[in-house]
Amino acid sequence: MIKKFALKISLLIFIPVLFFSCGNKYDTSENVVSDYNIIPKPEKLIPANGRFVLDENVKIEAKDGLQNEVEYFKEYLTTSNPGLKFGSGSRKMIRMDIDAALGNEEAYNLLISPDEIKISGATAKGIFYALQSLKQLRMEEDGLVMFPSVNITDSPRLAYRGMHLDVARHFFDVGDVKKYLDILALHKINTFHWHLTEDQGWRIEIKQYPKLTEIGAFRNGTINGKYPGDSNDNKRYGGFYTQEEIKDVLAYAEKRHITVIPEIEMPGHGIAAIAAYPYLSCFPEEKTVVPENMMSKGGKEKQANGQPKIVQESWGVYEDVFCAGSDSTFTFLENVIDEVAALFPSEYIHIGGDECPKANWERCPKCQQRMADLGLKDEHELQSYFIQRMEKYINSKGKKIIGWDEILEGGLAPNATVMSWRGEEGGIEAAKQKHDVIMTPTGYFYFDYHQAQDISKEPLGIGGYLPLEKVYSYNPEPEALTSQETAYILGVQANVWTEYIEEFEKLEYMTLPRMAALAEVGWTQESQRNWEDFKKRLPGITKVYEANNYNYAKRVDEPLVKK
């Protein structure tokens, strides 16, 4: 929910009238638009003459309840200005105040004059967003740090602006997750969807089930190259977060006004948990299969020694899923939810619900008996039963569920929010049923897709083609919906699946600057968005990337479609 910037403007071209005539007084002109390169574009921005030049001493005044914002901004200022003092005798003043009249809790007003920066927010969130815009306005000339005079009034279009990260295929440690949160903050993204469990790894400590991390958090090897791979690296790989580490990340996110939504996948994508506790499978004695015989030596040895279930070493979708006919499955998942719900303050828990093959359920006596007992006509209805049963339990913990759009199959759970990834159709259907929706269609918001048509110029990836302009072109309010139905569209989210993203530097490359386009889709009113204007403002935020040593893709003018 924030924006973190350390903008250097030494490369900008200024016309001669910009140079100051005396002391710290500068003269600006309305045609110097490069002074005001803010992404996402503010609702209203009025340039003014003069600049606030940062002296060696500056005073910060803030109302009670804004200490987090004060300390955050002090740290930002002193990082690039280590000799800066915050003294009461300064002529330069930065004021922070709450103004409930601004309405939207994320709304803010930023007023910069040569002697004062005045920041008003409807809440501390609004203040925090104003600080992020202020960081983007930061400039340097002749060794002086300054901010151009301006009056900005701003608030977001959509309440939910999210970024996802899969840490199960490839693990990112606490330090990396915090850096990722900083990047989200930079773009005023207010929600972090933390994908914690998968076939290839279980990443969260559950004290009642220690084998989830002792066994489920580590695979014996990983395929080399593009799926199905040409070999196995035979290297033990994995990692997990202790509950104390989770709390540390949550505290870090809270200071940046980012909500963290955990995802615990069910009923599919659960092989790592099944490897730890085989009774969760419909067929505990059946061996885990790695496609194309690409299993590691360690995996083969475990199976030869009587451990048929191993953490999956390849990518894709697999038939070994949680058994829907066994009450012990639900006992396990409910106990997991108990610990997850106690850890995460978010009102939501994401339960996945996607890509659950039904082949095992079709031949499982317990699942078939469950269907007969409940009068379910097919396995899609069995999945709906599974999701609704878990939703009821999660609701009893004071939480709501989010699921991928497959949870629509067989009947939607009563209070579920749908994350529409297979295009917009699931989101449209859910909104018509009066369910909340988050739009995250693959064709616009899968940031693991390539950014160039010529993939030989791109790092190894899962495939697909998603240039910056296509991300920017998305309108999250489908024409198929009425205005009343559109009200159920909570917001947008981009997803980062990490089959082929092993390092944080590559994660940066895959998300930047596409995250800037996502940010503007979620924040800026449709009537104010313009691709050519966005491109003109883009150098401002890429200078921020450079100042922070972020590794970003420099592909801006890739066409929308292949020629």
380-421: pLDDT as tens digits: 999 999 999 999 999 999 999 999 999 998 888 888 999 999
Tell which of 389, 405, 421 closes a domain: 405
Tell me the two tokens of residue 278: 């085989």
513-529: pLDDT as tens digits: 999 999 999 999 999 99
Report the Cα 112 to chain-centroid distance in Å: 31
Nearest to 472 by CA among 514, 527, 415, 501: 514
Token pair 């804004």 is found at 66
- 217 with 98, same domain: the answer is no
Tell which of 122, 154, 186 closes a domain: 154
Q: What is the pLDDT of residue 142?
A: 87
**Alpha-carbon Rg for the chain in angstroms:** 25
Q: What is the pLDDT of residue 15?
A: 28
Phi, psi for residue 114 in degrees, rounded to 5 = -60, -25
DSSP 391-408: HHHHHHTT-EEEEEGGGG
- 241 with 358, same domain: the answer is yes
- How many domains does the chain divide into? 2
The amino acid sitting at 417 is T
Nearest 5°: CA angle at 280, between 409 and 214?
Answer: 120
| CATH number, domain with residue 375 | 3.20.20.80
131 lies in a domain? yes
Q: Is the pLDDT of residue 19 over 70?
A: no
297 lies in a domain? yes
| CATH number, domain with residue 70 | 3.30.379.10
- 377 with 276, same domain: the answer is yes
44-103: pLDDT as tens digits: 999 999 999 998 899 999 988 999 999 999 999 998 788 888 887 778 999 999 999 998
Phi, psi for residue 266 in degrees, rounded to 5 = -165, 155
358-387: pLDDT as tens digits: 999 999 999 999 999 999 999 999 999 999
426 lies in a domain? no
Query: How confident is the prediction for the chain on average, in pLDDT?
Result: 92
- 269 with 322, same domain: the answer is yes
Q: Which residues contact 107 (CB under 8 A, 6 or more apart)?
A: 121, 122, 126, 153, 154, 155
101 lies in a domain? yes
The pTM is what?
A: 0.93
Q: How confident is the model at residue 561 (pLDDT cuts 50, 70, 90)?
A: low
Chain length of the chain: 563
- 86 with 212, same domain: the answer is no
Range of the domain at 34: 16-154
Local structure of 107: helix, strand or coil:
coil
DSSP 310-325: ----S-S--S--B-TT
Beta-sheet pairing, 489-494 with 44-53: unpaired
- 258 with 369, same domain: the answer is yes
Tell which of 123, 154, 185 closes a domain: 154
